[in-house]
Chains A and B, each alone.
Chain A
Amino acid sequence: MPKLDAVSRRKFIAVGGGTSLAAFLAACGGGGDTTTMVTNTGQESEPAESGKGSETEQFGKGDIGILNYALTLEYLEAAFYKDVVKSGLFKGEELAVLKKFGAEEQQHVEALSGTVKKLGGKPAPMPKAEFPLKSAKSVAELAGTVENLGAAAYLGQAGNIKSPEVLAAALSIHSVEARHAATLNTLLKLSITPDGAFGKPADVATVLKSVEPFIVG
């Protein structure tokens, strides 16, 4: 094997770091995606109609509904981290972590929003949210709750997603939320695996009920 080409390695690494998910789906939809789960043309991800009444129907049909549900949660997370960073409750390394996570959630927002549009849907609106920011401890606890919930939400929907590309995207976000959750659990000196060796999914009703208190107007 020849010495790895420095340019192509940089490209891989750059691509791995920050390209938007929408660009990823465009690349997959464009040609030659080789996943085996494709049952239709395998080219563009089409907005799939779900046969049964789906939990995420209020957000849209099929995969678009699921993506918009996820988008709503990501909006809330991004807003939360923005408030947290502004609050002045954290500094140093902890602040840096929270800033980074907030930036990632914002990128999730953009990617999900772009994906919904690409699928021909209308992205869910950004909810207006207010978060209690009483103390560093209570905020950290809230962050931990939100991230663990976010991971559970994605896990809960994985089986409902029709398109393999959308599923790949959802899985890639799901594991990042899990990393966030474990980090916050660590900061709080809680178990990194509150559900044990297997993550537990959460259904839409549970998730929405949990975030409802923070949505205003």
Chain B
Amino acid sequence: MSEKKLSEVEGLVHPELAGVEVVEESGGDFSRSDVLLKGALAAGAVYGTFMVAPYVRGAFAAAGTSDVDILNFALTLEYLESSFYEEAKKKAKPSGELKALVDLLASDEKQHVEALAGTIKKLGGKPVSEPKFNFEYNGTAEFLKLAETFENTGVSAYNGAGPAIKSKEVLGAAGSIVQVEARHAAAIALQNGQEPSPSTFDAPLDEKQVLKAVEPFIA
């Protein structure tokens, strides 16, 4: 199936997500986690980040899943954030308070990557390889917009995946990470002059056929 371009779609809620490229460099095909990530980004771009949760939930429900699968999806999301913030240290030209924040964000996401990869190994699974990402933005304002959207996407994705997690310990780990993603989201929103808590519930309220709608945008 030919991959359709998100950037060609009109009326995107988050056009900034359309500029994100996920490239599997290992020469292999996209992993399931890569596909889920691309789907989550597409769902967020087209419908808004609160729709990422039903997308994730539906995607996992449709194909069945193990805790390792869920953790690998989370890992891929964290790879994205970690890569984004590392690059942003220069690319976003942050100064003052924002510079300190970017350093913190980069450090947190790196720790999330390490923790998730470690947990996957502990469970006898294999952590997925890190894709290469291309992020399109210029300057601080665009960086902040994209950062806010990523963090909101992450919160929504974790909250969507949470109920599918079988182990209490893994759920606890995911919960401890999503809490920090939500904190990140609020902090970035404040830097951006936006509402730190835009919605009373970081939740999906309808489970729609997001999967089907998103399919044209993923490999």
Contacts and interface: CB of A to CB of B under 8 A. Distances in A.
Interface of A: 1, 3-4, 6, 9, 12-13, 15-19, 21, 23-24, 27-28, 32-37, 97, 100-101, 103-104, 107-108, 111, 151, 155, 158-159, 164-165, 167-169, 171-176, 178-183, 185-186, 191-193, 196-201
Nearest to A34: B61
Contacts of A23: 205
Contacts of A15: 205-206
B164 A171 contact: no
A199 B203 contact: no
Nearest to B110: A197
Of B169, B178, B180, B190, most buried by chain A (CB within 10 Å of CB) is: B180
Contacts of A169: 201, 203
Contacts of B115: 197-198
B186 A178 contact: yes
Given A9-B11, A24-B203, A27-B205, 10 more contacts: A101-B197, A159-B168, A179-B186, A180-B197, A185-B183, A186-B196, A197-B111, A197-B180, A198-B111, A200-B176
8 contacts: A15-B206, A34-B57, A35-B57, A37-B165, A107-B200, A108-B200, A158-B171, A199-B178
Contacts of A12: 47-48, 50-51, 206, 208
A103 B197 CA distance: 11
Contacts of B60: 36
A172 B10 contact: no
Interface string B175-196: 1111111111111001000011
A199 B185 contact: no
Contacts of B12: 4
B62 A34 contact: yes
Contacts, number: 206
B199 A17 contact: yes
